[in-house]
Structure 1
Amino acid sequence: MNTLERALIEKVGRENGWENVIESYDPIVVLASARHQAQLSVTPSTTASSFLLQISSDLIHQELIRSLNITVQEGSRIIVPNIDQLARLLHRTAELAQSLQKLAIQTYADRVKEALERTLPNNTEVERLVKQRVGQDIFREALLDYWAGACAVTRIDLPEVLRASHAKPWADCDSDEERLDVFNGFLLSANLDALFDRGLISFDVTGKMIFSPKLSPPHLSNLQLEDGLSLRWLTPEHEPYLAWHRLKIFQM
């Protein structure tokens, strides 16, 4: 790896969520960020203009394999054909690192503490409302990162109409870990969020949208709901929460 290649990798990293250079020497650059705990290494390939990328988190690696059309070399290194694709992959990896790494609980605790210090008077009901508001904000941020800023069904990417929808509602969760788990819900457009929240739609084990019998054919037509709508993807981690939603929320 020559000086120009090293400088280019470091520049692309800084521009796409990896501002910290942990190591940089022939033939590897190791990148990290203050916003999450993941690290990755980038190595120029023997093939002209391509790169090999290795990620410290198995979960992030699995999500990339699932969601992007990429090739993996022996040793779990991802083959990146050019610098533009490297930028795209680094950006997506940073999004996943921020949504999947176990940083939400500490962020939640810190933000709740700050919010309560600014709120008077401080009582049990105020604390409950503050915790819920802060938690919902963190959950939304995580879902925006995980779903790359687009609806999990329609791909609409207008933030103003996107909602963070819990499958297992905040009040019913057994812990803050469940409440803030990025797999406990979906980023949905406002109309789908309202239907999902009230149990008028859900998703089966394949991710296909299912409709409550309370939605008549005219309802479905006017809401532009049709057979074949489905989640853009569904992971095994989603299924326990979806099963809860189908059992407890979905209206039969």
Structure 2
Amino acid sequence: MNPLQRALIEKAGHDHGFEYVSASTDSQVQMASARHPAQVVVRLDGGRFILSFNALTTAQLNNELARSFPEFLFDDGVFQAPDQNALAVLLRRAAELAHALPNQAVRDFDVSLQQELDHLPLELKGTEVERLVRQRVGQQAFRSAMLDYWGGACAVTGIAIPELLRASHAKPWAECGSDAERLDVFNGFLLSANLDALFDRFLISFDNGGELLLSSQISHSDRILLGLDRPLQLHWIASEHLPYLGYHRQCFISAQQ
């Protein structure tokens, strides 16, 4: 690896979520970030970039990357990028996933919450005000993680206008037993505002294959007006979604009765 090749790899990392070099040799560059726990080692092989990732959630990260980019899978847990554009795509998606996957959102929540509570008057500690602060900070952390995980687009329609997107919980916030559940990116989906409103009220759900389920309470004419008169489904669904989705689907079924 010559100095120019090394510099191009380091720039790609800096621009796409791995902003500092933690180690560099004649054969490879290792990069990391202050924003997430993942690290990546990049080496050259016959003109290709070979990438391997290390993180607290390495298995999930590799599984998600393999699902998103099967054409870039080189070996078990190792990816190849044929050119600089593909290298940028892989690095950017890996950084998004590393920032979203459990339990990075919980760590971000803990840091942000402590900052908020440090400015809260002592007499308000342990009151309804503190509970509302916790909920607001948690929902912000959840939304940020969901935007990263779903690449800033609705999980069903692909709409990518941030103002129209909502982080929808499958197992409602109040029903979760811990912050880890509340902030788990697999506990819900990034949905456009109309789908979020329906999902939140158990008027729609999804089966284990990701296909949209519609409540009988939504009339045929309303389905047309809402754009629900055609087959719709999640762009993908991971096994980690299924327990939360099962909870939501039971609520959906109960709401029909």
TM over 0.5: yes
2:247 equivalent in structure 1: 244
Whether contact under 8 Å (1:16, 1:87) holds in the other structure is: yes
How far apart are the structure 2 equivalents of 1:28 and 1:125? 53
1:82 equivalent in structure 2: 83
1:212 equivalent in structure 2: 215
Listed as ranges, the matches of 1:1-252 within 5 Å are 1-46=1-46, 48=47, 50-56=48-54, 57-120=58-121, 121-122=123-124, 123-250=126-253, 251-252=255-256
How far apart are the structure 1 equivalents of 2:107 and 2:51? 29
User: What's the secondary structure of 2:155's corresponding residue?
Assistant: coil
Give TM-score scaled by structure 2 length: 0.93
Whether contact under 8 Å (1:139, 1:182) holds in the other structure is: yes
User: Structure 1 residues 116-125 or 19-28, which shifts more?
Assistant: 116-125
AA paired with 1:160?
E
How far apart are the structure 1 equivalents of 2:249 and 2:90? 34
Q: How big is each residue's C-alpha offset from its partner over 1:198-248, in whole Å with a ceiling of 9 and x where there is no partner?
A: 000000010000001111111111111024200000000000000000112
How far apart are the structure 2 equivalents of 1:200 and 1:105? 29
Structure 1 residue ranges without an equivalent (≥5) = none
Q: How big is each residue's C-alpha offset from its partner over 1:24-45, in whole Å with a ceiling of 9 and x where there is no partner?
A: 1121111110111111111111
AA paired with 2:32?
A
User: What's the secondary structure of 2:73's corresponding residue?
Assistant: strand
Shift of 1:127: 1.2
AA paired with 2:44?
P
Whether contact under 8 Å (1:36, 1:101) holds in the other structure is: no
Shift of 1:55: 1.2
Whether contact under 8 Å (2:154, 2:191) holds in the other structure is: yes
User: What's the secondary structure of 1:6's corresponding residue?
Assistant: helix
Structure 2 residue ranges without an equivalent (≥5) = none
Quickly say closer, same or farther: Cα 1:227–1:177, change in 2 above 3 A.
Answer: same
Give me the CA root mean square deviation.
Answer: 1.3
Whether contact under 8 Å (1:38, 1:101) holds in the other structure is: no
Whether contact under 8 Å (2:102, 2:185) holds in the other structure is: no
How far apart are the structure 2 equivalents of 1:70 and 1:175? 38
AA paired with 2:182?
R
User: What's the secondary structure of 2:189's corresponding residue?
Assistant: strand
Shift of 1:90: 0.5
How far apart are the structure 1 equivalents of 2:76 and 2:224? 50
Shift of 1:21: 0.5
User: What's the secondary structure of 2:239's corresponding residue?
Assistant: coil
Give TM-score scaled by structure 1 length: 0.95
How far apart are the structure 2 equivalents of 1:126 and 1:235? 36
User: Structure 1 residues 177-186 or 110-119, which shifts more?
Assistant: 110-119
User: What's the secondary structure of 1:17's corresponding residue?
Assistant: coil
Q: How big is each residue's C-alpha offset from its partner over 1:30-69, in whole Å with a ceiling of 9 and x where there is no partner?
A: 11101111111111112x3x21111111211110111224
Quickly say closer, same or farther: Cα 1:30–1:201, change in 2 above 3 A.
Answer: same
How far apart are the structure 1 equivalents of 2:238 and 2:75? 24
Q: Identity over the aligned pairs, expressed in percent? A: 50
